[in-house]
Structure 1
C-alpha cells in the first residue's frame, strides 16, 4: 500500500466544508482514561462466580445481553410462582439470580467507568468541548456517559455547542430527576448504541440528569435496575444482533436514521472500523457524506491502521461504483493532534 498523507486535525477542519459531523468510537473514552476503558466487552469482564448458573443461562439464550437475561429471569420467577408444581425454592433461586446479575452488571460498568463527573478535570472538559464545538451533529457508539458529562459542563467556557439530545422535562413535572425523550424533536446529539443514563421504562424513554450529582455511577445504575428500569444500550454481539436491537427501539432507530441522512463532512474519531459495527459504518458509503475524515492512532503502517485505511477506501470504491452517487473523498488525520481531552 502506498504511503498516504496523514494530516493534522486542524488541517482537516480547514479542508472540510461548512457542514461537519463527528462519529465517536471507544477511542474517545480510552484517550481520557486508558486504565479504565478498553475495547473488551462488559460480558467478558463480568464476574459470575457468585451466580453458578448465570453463564449457562447466557449460553442457552445465545446472547451476551444482560437486559435480556435479567428480564427473562424476572418473568420466569413470576410465571413459575403461578404453578402449584413449581418449587418455591426454585422460584426464590431465580429471583436471587436475577438480582445478583443486576449487581454484576452494575459492578462491571463501575469497573469500566469513572465514578463521578468530578473525577474529570475542568481543563479536560474544556478541551473536549473545544473539540466538539466544531460539529453540527455528534454521533457516538459509546454507551458511557463521558460525552454527556462534557456537554453538560458548560460552566468551563462560553462555547455554544449544539447539544440537543431530544429529551425534555415531563409536562407538568419540571422538578423530576429525569427528562423524557420526545420523538417530535430534532436532536443534534445521538447515542447510536444508547447510553447508561438513558432508560427504557417500557412506556417511555427517560434520561436521568446525573451530570451534577455526586452519587457514584454504580449506585445510580443499581438503583434504576431495582426499579426495573434498564439502561438502553447496545453493548454486545455481532452487527446483525446490534441492528436487531436498534430496530426494536424508536429512540435508537431514529438516531440511526439521522446518521444515514447527514451530508457534508464526517469525522470519525477513535473507531477501529471493526465489522461488528457495520450496521452503522455502511451508512457512510450508502449515504450522502462527501468527505470522510478518519482518525488514526499511532503508526499508520500498523496492522490495525492498515485495516482501517483499507476499509475507508473501500467505502470510496463502493460510492464510485454506485450509479447516481456523488464521489466520496477519504482523508486521514492524526488523532493526537485533535487534543480531545487536552
Structure 2
C-alpha cells in the first residue's frame, strides 16, 4: 500500500493556506520510550507490586488494557444495582475500581521520567519543531495522553505560541482597587482560555480540579513537578483523568468537567484539516470520531469547517484497521507513514 509521507502531508496542507491541527494518542509517548509508555509496561509494573485485588482483576478479565477492565467493572456494578444486590458487594466493586485508578496513577508516576531535563535535548528540540508546525499554521494540538511529555517539551523549549489556557489571577482585587499590591494565584485555567490552542482531551497528570478552580502544577527549580504531584496524590487529590471504559462513558466523564468539556467542544469545532499521530481510533474512541464528524458537518463551506483528516499509521495492520472503519468518518481520510514524522528526532 502506497502511503503519503509526513512531509508530503504538511507540504500539501501548507499550500491550502488553511490551519491544520494535531491529534495525538499513546503512540506519541511510545515513540519517545516504548518500554515506559505502553499499556503492557504499566500492566507489568502494576502486577509486579503484588496487589492481590489488582492482579485478580487482570487475571479474570484476561487483558492488559486498563480501559477494558474499567468498562467491565462499571458494567458489573450496573448489573448489581439493576438486580438489587446487597450494598456490600457493590461497595467491593467500587473499591476495586478506585484501587485500579489509584494504582494506574501511582504506576504512571513511578514510571515517568524524573523531570523535564531528563528528556535528551535532541529529542526535545525535534518534538518542539514538530508541534510548532501545527501551532504556526493557526491550528490546535490535542492529546489524549495522561503523561507530561507534551507539557514538558513546551516548557523546556519555550514554545511561545503554545497556550494551554492557564494563567494567574489577582487574588486580592479589592485591595488592589484601593491601591494595594497585587497578590497572584497559582496557575488556574481561565485567564488565557480565549486563545487556548493546546488541549488535554482526557486530562493529564499535572491538571487538577479543586472543585473551585482547575489548577495546573508548575515545574520549578526547588520542586520537581513529579514531586508536587506525588504530594497531591498523598493528600488524595487526584488529577483530572478520564479512566472510564467505552466512548459513551468517557464522554460522560468529559461532560461533567468544564475543562475537559471545553477541550472536547473545540475539537468538535475544528477548522481546516486534522493530522493524527499515534492515535489508532480503537473501539473505545467513538467519542473522538463523533467530535471529528461534528466539525465536518459545518452548515456551509465557510470556516470553521473540517475538510480532511490525515491519519498516521505504523504498519500494514494499522492501515487495514483504518480502512475498515473509514466509513465512520464524514471527512476525507488520507493515510501517511507515521514513521516518517520523526517526532523525537530518532
TM-score, scaled relative to structure 2: 0.73
Q: Structure 1 residues 185, 57: CA separation in 2 closer, same or farther (over 3 Å shift)?
A: same
Q: Is the 8 A contact 2:23 2:143 kept in 1?
A: yes
Q: Is the 8 A contact 1:116 1:213 kept in 2?
A: no
Matched, 1:276 2:284: yes
Deviation at 1:213, TM superposition (A): 6.2
Match of 1:294 among 311, 317, 340: 311
Distance 1:49 1:220 in 2: 23
Deviation at 1:202, TM superposition (A): 1.4
Deviation at 1:51, TM superposition (A): 5.9
Distance 2:221 2:335 in 1: 36
Q: Structure 1 residues 177, 220: CA separation in 2 closer, same or farther (over 3 Å shift)?
A: farther
Distance 1:153 1:192 in 2: 22
Structure 2 counterpart SS, 1:190: strand
Aligned equivalent of 1:122: 121
Q: 1:244-272: per-residue Cα shift (whole Å, max 9, x none)?
A: 11010000000000000012110000011
Deviates more, 1:199-208 or 1:99-108: 99-108
Q: Is the 8 A contact 2:319 2:335 kept in 1?
A: no
* 1:227-246 to 2 correspondences below 5 Å: 227-246=235-254
Deviation at 1:107, TM superposition (A): 3.3
Q: Is the 8 A contact 1:177 1:209 kept in 2?
A: no
Deviation at 1:227, TM superposition (A): 3.0
Aligned equivalent of 1:207: 216
In terms of fraction of residues, the more helix-rich structure is 2
Aligned equivalent of 1:13: 10
Matched, 1:248 2:256: yes
Distance 2:328 2:101 in 1: 40
Q: Structure 1 residues 172, 7: CA separation in 2 closer, same or farther (over 3 Å shift)?
A: same
Deviation at 1:216, TM superposition (A): 6.8
Aligned equivalent of 2:141: 138
Aligned equivalent of 1:306: 320
Deviation at 1:274, TM superposition (A): 0.2
Aligned equivalent of 1:28: 28
Structure 2 counterpart SS, 1:139: strand
Structure 2 residue runs without a partner (length 5+): 61-67, 75-95, 173-181, 297-305
Matched, 1:220 2:223: no
Q: Is the 8 A contact 2:70 2:97 kept in 1?
A: no
Structure 1 counterpart SS, 2:284: helix
Distance 2:185 2:50 in 1: 33
Deviation at 1:296, TM superposition (A): 1.0
* 1:320-335 to 2 correspondences below 5 Å: 328-335=331-338
* 1:45-84 to 2 correspondences below 5 Å: 46-47=46-47, 64=70
Deviation at 1:154, TM superposition (A): 2.3
Match of 1:148 among 143, 151, 166: 151
Q: Is the 8 A contact 2:36 2:112 kept in 1?
A: yes
Deviation at 1:11, TM superposition (A): 0.8
Q: 1:127-158: per-residue Cα shift (whole Å, max 9, x none)?
A: 00110011120000111100001111225xxx
Q: Structure 1 residues 307, 154: CA separation in 2 closer, same or farther (over 3 Å shift)?
A: same
Q: Structure 1 residues 235, 105: CA separation in 2 closer, same or farther (over 3 Å shift)?
A: same
Distance 1:45 1:176 in 2: 40
Distance 2:208 2:214 in 1: 6
Aligned equivalent of 1:94: none
Q: Is the 8 A contact 2:268 2:295 kept in 1?
A: yes
Matched, 1:190 2:199: yes
Structure 2 counterpart SS, 1:15: helix
Distance 1:7 1:122 in 2: 29
